[in-house]
Amino acid sequence: MKTSIKILSLLFIALFTFASCSKDDDPSDNDLFIGKYEGPISFSSSNEGDTDVPRKDGSVTVTKIGDNYTFNFSDGIPTLSNIEMKKGDNNTLIIGDGALGTITITASTLVIAYTTDGRAWTANCER
């Protein structure tokens, strides 16, 4: 009997772990989210000291805590951080504070077209 309970407990824990890490998990529905999206990315800047990255295949790791998103790009592209999107909102148009752009994130896609302070990020990625 004890063996059966242990096996059922381990099965339940494994099922819970797989369900919580699903690729069908929409970041807009969670307060905590980490996911990696892959596809074409690019970066350009008119600022000295910044290195342009032409459009190429790469990845973007998305971290969400509460309503704040951080987008960590591969290939030496600077990180976009503290992008605020309200819970349940997975498409944001950003206008203000010198920033202009749109960010759309779902369980399977990430699209970024964002410009601020002479710097521009783009991504069209899938998970």
The secondary structure element, H or E, covering residue 13 is helix 2-20
Give yes or no for residue 121 having a pLDDT over 90.
yes
Give yes or no for residue 15 having a pLDDT over 90.
no
Dump pLDDT digits (tens) for 79-111: 999 888 765 566 777 777 778 999 999 889 999
* Phi, psi for residue 17 in degrees, rounded to 5: -65, -45
Local confidence band at 23 (pLDDT 50, 70, 90 cut-offs): low
pLDDT at 19: 44
Local confidence band at 30 (pLDDT 50, 70, 90 cut-offs): confident
pTM comes to: 0.75
CA distance 109 to 97: 26
* pLDDT > 70 in the chain, percent: 73
Three-state DSSP string of 17-37? HHHHCCCCCCHHHCCEEEEEE
For the chain, the average pLDDT equals: 82
